[in-house]
Structure 1
């Protein structure tokens, strides 16, 4: 006689009985912070894929900061007309140009939101269970990814020109955080303006109108002490000034108010995400 067939393992029987229960029990909801991180990560991956497939934007955007360093920086280093606390003017200028190039990338990020609205992508994103703040934060820090790539290019140009930059890994991680936070604020500012004006042409005009005042109304080109009183007040309210101050302290090792700088940038990014999230639904109507 043949042997009796072996009984099926208990584990498989348990898994078979558990399978129908999975059809009726919804999956556990992920915490909000995990949802935000997942959205931010997805947006950052998308931006990296765009840069990998089309590097022309990276090359063209490197022209303007290179000209600032090569022409403006080299010239004013020879003139020595601006007091910089004993460091060469080119060294003093380099962190300001890093912040400027990052701001120029982020300040027009709202155009992409309007394009997504026109193509129907934004409506599809808004019907997902993802919170609006997570969507805005993901897009804001995705703009920061582009800005970090741009910052690496500017740092490389500055190093070739002989700027005495630090290569301490901890300080460089701080530079990444500063660029991310600054870009997050300016991209959220752009998305907020997009939620108000609703069209690309108006957004482009407003963006071009505010970029130069933000740049010249900061400490990117000259110390705050040289400014008239009213411009000093503008500079103290300008998040770009705190971004530049943090970059100078991290990259050059000079005195900076890093705790204040990071605090202002975190607060500015939080306010920007809140305001852009509030206007995102208006943009999608």
Structure 2
């Protein structure tokens, strides 16, 4: 007698289900930690930038100050030639410094927003989600960087209209964007770190006003290091804003710069700022 044909191998129920149904019945495996962090950072940054759709007043009002610096201060000191800039017209020398200044002024009061979120109960809701604290801080920091980029575009347009000899090399402009974002991320994290210490909007406003102008005038944004007294040169060399300005000058107007050192300092400063602000975020939410 001939043998009966062998039965086909059994197919498991899981393999028989279409993929779509399988996903409905069994959730996908969670992403690994290193894959979660970038996604959460991007999500937090997008949430911050959504606020610009409802109120763009901040962008318009903050564009006034850099315009005044270039139109009044830059034009006046170009005429009197009071500051040695190595043969570069002073308004050309000033434009990168004003880009850095406007970016810092946007970021340095970012801690006020996180205190407002604490008072409104938003921060506590964010902290109970699976999102790491470092992702919350990094998202906010880089959102400040994107806002600063908008200010940088305004300054560059004004500078171009004033005849400043800027580069239009796409790679150098990309470097400018990276420098602006890194510098803004550091100052935003510095603000949020101070917020985690003082815990009050009024105190933060006082600290912000107390450190903003020393950071600005204690850098090479307005004048070269060579004209500073010795003690101020030491302060300037410890000031991340000086490295941001140096990189912007080298990229935008082609003046001598230490780009490798500038980028290294800004990356390290941003990383330290994110670490400090993330550490103090829990204290802010108590």
Q: Please give the TM-score of this superposition, normalised by the length of structure 2.
A: 0.91
Q: Which residue of 1 aligns with 2:53?
A: 52
In structure 1, how many angstroms separate the alpha carbons of the residues matched to 2:15 and 2:246? 65
Q: Unpaired runs of 5+ in structure 2?
A: 1-11
Once the two structures are superposed, the pairs formed by residues 33-52 of structure 1 within 5 Å of their partners are 33-52=34-53
Distance apart, 1:40 and its partner CA: 2.4
Distance apart, 1:27 and its partner CA: 3.3
Q: Which residue of 2 aligns with 1:162?
A: 163
**Are 2:243 and 2:266, in contact at CA under 8 Å, matched by a contact in 1?**
yes
In structure 1, how many angstroms separate the alpha carbons of the residues matched to 2:36 and 2:61? 35
In structure 2, how many angstroms separate the alpha carbons of the residues matched to 1:18 and 1:98? 51
User: What are the superposed Cα offsets for residues 59-111 of structure 1, whole Å, 9 maximum, x if unpaired?
Assistant: 11000000000110000000111111111000000000000000000000001
The alpha-carbon distance between structure 1 residues 16 and 178, as it changes in their structure 2 partners (threshold 3 A), is: closer
Distance apart, 1:146 and its partner CA: 0.6
Q: Which residue of 2 aligns with 1:153?
A: 154
Q: Which residue of 1 aligns with 2:194?
A: 193
SS at match of 2:17: helix
Q: Which residue of 1 aligns with 2:259?
A: 258
Q: Which residue of 1 aligns with 2:227?
A: 226
Instruction: Name whichever of 52-61 and 168-177 sits farther off.
Output: 52-61
The alpha-carbon distance between structure 1 residues 13 and 92, as it changes in their structure 2 partners (threshold 3 A), is: closer
Q: Which residue of 1 aligns with 2:271?
A: 270
**Are 1:35 and 1:134, in contact at CA under 8 Å, matched by a contact in 2?**
no
The alpha-carbon distance between structure 1 residues 18 and 159, as it changes in their structure 2 partners (threshold 3 A), is: closer
Q: Which residue of 2 aligns with 1:89?
A: 90
Q: Show structure 1 runs of 4+ deviating over 6 A.
A: 10-13
Q: Which residue of 2 aligns with 1:207?
A: 208
The alpha-carbon distance between structure 1 residues 178 and 162, as it changes in their structure 2 partners (threshold 3 A), is: same
RMSD: 2.2
In structure 1, how many angstroms separate the alpha carbons of the residues matched to 2:58 and 2:23? 52
**Are 2:144 and 2:188, in contact at CA under 8 Å, matched by a contact in 1?**
yes
User: What are the superposed Cα offsets for residues 144-175 of structure 1, whole Å, 9 maximum, x if unpaired?
Assistant: 11101111111111111111110110001001
**Are 1:36 and 1:138, in contact at CA under 8 Å, matched by a contact in 2?**
no
Q: Which residue of 2 aligns with 1:15?
A: 17
Q: Which residue of 2 aligns with 1:178?
A: 179
In structure 1, how many angstroms separate the alpha carbons of the residues matched to 2:229 and 2:84? 16
The alpha-carbon distance between structure 1 residues 53 and 79, as it changes in their structure 2 partners (threshold 3 A), is: same
SS at match of 1:175: helix
Distance apart, 1:46 and its partner CA: 2.8
May I ask how many residue pairs the two structures share in their alignment? 276
In structure 2, how many angstroms separate the alpha carbons of the residues matched to 1:67 and 1:261? 27
In structure 2, how many angstroms separate the alpha carbons of the residues matched to 1:114 and 1:93? 34
Q: Unpaired runs of 5+ in structure 1?
A: 1-9
